[in-house]
Every structure is written in C-alpha cells, then in structure tokens.
Structure 1
Amino acid sequence: MSEQPTSVPLGPQKASAHALAVVMRDYLSYGESGMEDLRTAVNARRRKPVISAFCGELHQILTNQAPIPTEVINREFRRRAKEEAAAGEGASDEPVVYDDQEAYEALADLWDYLGLNPDGEPEDSDATLKSAIRERRSQLLWVDGDPVEALKAWMSWRSLALFLGGSVLCTASWALYERIDIGFVRGLLLLLTIIGFVGASIGGGALWLRRVRYVNPDAFLPKKPEPKEERR
C-alpha cells in the first residue's frame, strides 16, 4: 500500500478518523518513541479497542474507502507545536503541513512500519505467537532438542527418591490404617503416613524449585525497581 489511489473522495472529515486522531495524540506526535510504543500496542495480544479501530481506519483510508484525513493530521501537528512552544521546547519554525498526497504517503509508510496485513493484523502475528509457544514449550522438557540432557540438567535423584518413597509409604500406610483395627498398629501406621506425606512434599517441592530455577535462573530473586522512562 504505497501508491496513491487514482481518486480519493474529499469533503468533510467523518467520525471515522476519530481513532487516528487519538493515536496521533497519544503516540505519533511523540516521534520515534511514540512510533515504537504504537507498534508495541498494535502487536499486543490484547489490543486496545482504539488501536483496533485505528488499524481499520488506516486500511479504509489506504484502500480509498474513506477520505484522507489531512486536516486531522495537520491539526495534530499544530496542537503539538503549540504545546511545545508553551513549554519552551519547540522551535520558532512553522509546524509541518501536509497536502493530501503527502498525508497519504505518510499513512502508507506508517502501515509498512507497523507491518499490517490487509485485515489490519500484524503480518507475522501468527508466526510470532507460534514461535513463542514453541520456545516456551521447549523449555519444559529439553535443551537444544535433547530431553535426556535437559532432565539431567535439573533433576535431583535424591529429591526424586524422597518424593517416590514418601508417596509409596504414605499411600501404603494409609491403606493399611483403614483396614487394621488394632490401636497400637493404627497409631504407628498413621505416624508412617504423616512421615511419608512430609517426605513426598519435601521431595516434590525440591524438584519443583529446581525445575523453576532451571527455566528461569532469576526466579524468586528480589527485583530491583527499574526507572520509568518518560516520553516527551
């Protein structure tokens, strides 16, 4: 979508450019940082409704289904220039003014920058999602495609033996506890059941912690507060 349509309907701007105006105000008027934030918002798993509406509007404009919102774009440039001038950040130059052709080309470049397909969705959204799922799944069982090496990397045979032994002891002792009526023996079996349960819990918990730290070495470590970056 990089060529100007042969005929573009002109006339009063409709409410269909509302999402574009919001996106220009909240993202595009901030320059490169705003463009990056917009691309992140477009590629988010759960996009904001205004972002989805913006993608739809952009597609309609570039396919000649809606008028080019030249005035909406220029109005935002003027508004931003006034804000910067009031804050003492702007230069004395006149704000950028687009004609219809320049506005269309700018929107086409924006479409290419965002990497949208004809449906207004990121071109590689499916591939990115599948890749993320595949990468996350690969961390569960193997390293470099070798499940045996991955198992050796995080498995603790002592913890595994404690978990299995405790589980067997707990299950067997409880089964006998329910069948035997002798008081002294029942008390001993109940004690063995508790010991088995505690042993299985400790062994299973140790395995789980080793597995979590294997997937994410920084798990359970205190996180340092990160300084917030403010856009201009």
Structure 2
Amino acid sequence: MPSNAPSPSRRRLLQSIAAVLGASALAGCGGSGSASGTARAGPNVEPPQDALTDPTHVSLRNSELAPIVEDPDSETDASESDTAGTPRFDDWQHDLVVDAERAGSLTFADVDGADEARALLDETDFESESVYVEGHVVPECYERRLCWVRWTDSEIETDYARILRDADVACEADADDFVTNLIRIPAALNPDDVRSYGSSSGSGPCRRPAGERTEGESA
C-alpha cells in the first residue's frame, strides 16, 4: 500500500461521513445570548456581502477534549458542572474579549500556536477592535477552516470549511479534538449587547466572493 494511502480509520470515517454532518449546538460560555450551529451536507456557499473573509485569527487544536483558552478569574456555575464537580465540556464555546486587562488574564493550554494566540491578543487595539474566541469539538480526522466572520452590535456569526486532514496525519474515526479560534473583529463590541452567536460549516474549501475569483474558478 502506498505510504500516503488513507488509513483504515480514515476509510471508515469516509464511509460513515453522514454521522459527522449533524448540527451542533453552541454552548454559551461568554454570556447568556442564544447560540446555534449547523452543518451543511453540500459545499460551502458564497460569503454574505457584509462578511469579513480574511480575518486575522489564530487556530489552536488540542488532542484532549479540554478547554484551550481559560479565564482563571471566572467562576464556574454549578449548573455547568457534572455531579463530581468537574466543569461540563460541551461541543461549542464562545467568548468575547474587549479589553487588554482581561486579555492579559487569559491562560492557554500547552498546544501549538499558543504563543501566536497570545501575540494576537497583545497586538489588538481594544479601542477599535475585539477578539472573538470560539471553540468547538472536531472529529480527529477533520479540520474546520475559518472562511468568514460577520457581526452586528448584537450578533456574531462564523462559517467554516470542513476538510479532511492530510493523509499523513494519524487519526481515528471515533476520536475527537477540541479547536479554538481567536478571531480579531475590527469593531469595539460590547459583550452585554451581543445576544446571539451562530456558526455553520460546509464541505470543501472556502468559497470566495464572486469579485475575488480568478478566471475559470468555479462559482
């Protein structure tokens, strides 16, 4: 068998792909606003006109189902813990960082890219920018690549491309990782006003706006 052939685990994942295309529910950790997540069985759609398609961001991945970015000053609500007192770990998490003091208090798990994530926070001008922190569970053989983000004073929405990882990446079909994206938004948002968080994902690469496509590039 060629060295770059899909592993049996990867083949099993492809054969059972429908099992990972279901909708995911966002679990709020940065506020009391509503949240939702959806997965499209088909390809990604063209970005909305008001979407930012190339946001400054850092993506962190943890092979353990454990938070990557944490606020040591926050108190865990008892309703968000299991009977043993361990914080419950949900599929989706979201947070909005809007000032340098809180940004400096955040801690990172020992994962690749943590230094870049810290630099992103340190270099953010919170007078005119915010950092949206969005975490989600991802099947180990997949990545979700950020396509775009858009926002209003009361809502933040993201979209991802769901892509198989390279064939030389060891993975198991029934295993999950946790991924967190720190996304810089060029607007000074108020967390108390943001009441809704949403995310979606589709198969294949991110679609670019029609005006940015090269000649012959598929729609």
TM (norm. structure 2) is: 0.21
Structure (1 or 2) with the greater strand fraction? 2
Structure (1 or 2) with the greater helix fraction? 1
Structure with more relative contact order (C-alpha pairs < 8 Å, separation 6 or more): 2
The structure with the largest alpha-carbon Rg is 1
